[in-house]
Amino acid sequence: PSGYMFWSLLGGWENVDTAPAQTGISNLRSPGTNYAGIHLEGGYHGLQKKLVVNRFAVSAVTNGINLLQFATGVDSGDQWLYVSNTTVNARNHGISMMYAKPYPEPGAGGVCDIMAENVDIVAGQGGAGNGITISQGQWMGSSISASGTNAATGEPRVSTITSTNGCGIYLSSLNNGGPCSLGMTNTVVYGCPSNAIYLEARGYGYTLALNSVLQATLRNCTVVSNGLDGLRMFASNSVGNFAAITNCIFAGNGGSGVYLGTNAAAYPAPFACVEGYNVFFDDDIYTNSTAKSVSGTTSTGDPLFYAQQTKPDPWYKIGSRASPAYRTGLGGLNRGAYQTEAGLAKPTVFVFR
């Protein structure tokens, strides 16, 4: 087929025969052992695809959601995926996007963007897989965020991502000349054996001229207890690459908290790192193969997580008012994703009449 494909899967409808309201969650389970929860693919020039998924619980699947462009040599086949208010439990990838582009032509190919809001993803439960993965396409305006309040608890929402056999987030762009950018807010990435967040932009055979500019902005995120780096960015472009990090917690990662590097001797210092009002506990920052001191507003103290019961919530909530993350972030917020605490005694209010 050719042309534009727009699929909108809206779950959670209740009382459809009397007073329809989108207030629930629709369950989606695989009938076998080798099926994805939602799968959309196609390949032809101009075959743009947009997929919207809202209010689903996807489980017992290989990959939770696939939006794929396997055919090579396809131009202007842009892909956009919007996922909200959805949980995914997958044996391999939680969410997978691909735009095949093995040839070194910077003016061809297309966009491969994801916008995820209020998602909870557990991937890699039956083999290798990442929480969210994009392969080869140009993710030029992707975002992962949370907003609103949890109806069950009344607390501000967060998005959570983990994989038991891969990265939390793995985005790789190949042979694209434009910028690749990821914005993250109110998100927890935890417990991955590999990197929590891995972002890469390169050209065919690491051809420098075909590399995209690589940019990441993190605000009020918690990146903890991962086997390798918390945030690893890898590029060969000479200018314009950066990470901007504010009100975040990086703690207990096996590598660096943040590692921004290059494979190209011709461009030994392509990255800038701007950070403030963070917590880096037992985690360092490496930029262009050099250790970077934290800013004056950033703490290296123990965030004093609650560290009880279940992960990520309430385990990674702040558990003490003595925490350097407790209401010390920019704007008076907690540093990290959670804006409510666990285990803190509530104040006693006396009313005299």
Q: What is the mean pLDDT of residues 101-124?
A: 83
- Secondary structure (3-state) at 59: strand
Sequence-distant (6+) residues with CB within 8 A of 125 are: 89, 90, 91, 164, 165
Each residue of 286-340: pLDDT tens digit?
A: 998 889 999 999 999 999 999 999 999 999 999 999 999 999 999 999 999 999 9
Each residue of 131-169: pLDDT tens digit?
A: 999 988 888 889 999 999 998 899 999 999 999 999 999
Each residue of 34-58: pLDDT tens digit?
A: 899 999 987 777 788 899 999 999 9
Amino acid at 150: N
Sheet holding 65-69, edge to edge: 38-41, 65-69, 95-99, 132-136, 169-174, 197-202, 231-235, 258-262, 285-287, 290-292
Tell me the C-alpha distance between 150 and 161, whole Å: 17
3 pLDDT more than 70: no
Q: Taking the model in full, what pTM does it have?
A: 0.94
Number of neighbouring beta carbons within 10 Å of residue 170: 24
Q: What is the predicted pLDDT for the residue at 130?
A: 98
Each residue of 159-177: pLDDT tens digit?
A: 999 999 999 999 998 777 6
Please confirm whether the linkage preceding 314 is cis (ω < 30° from 0): yes
Average pLDDT, the chain: 89
350 pLDDT more than 70: no
Q: What is the predicted pLDDT for the residue at 351?
A: 60
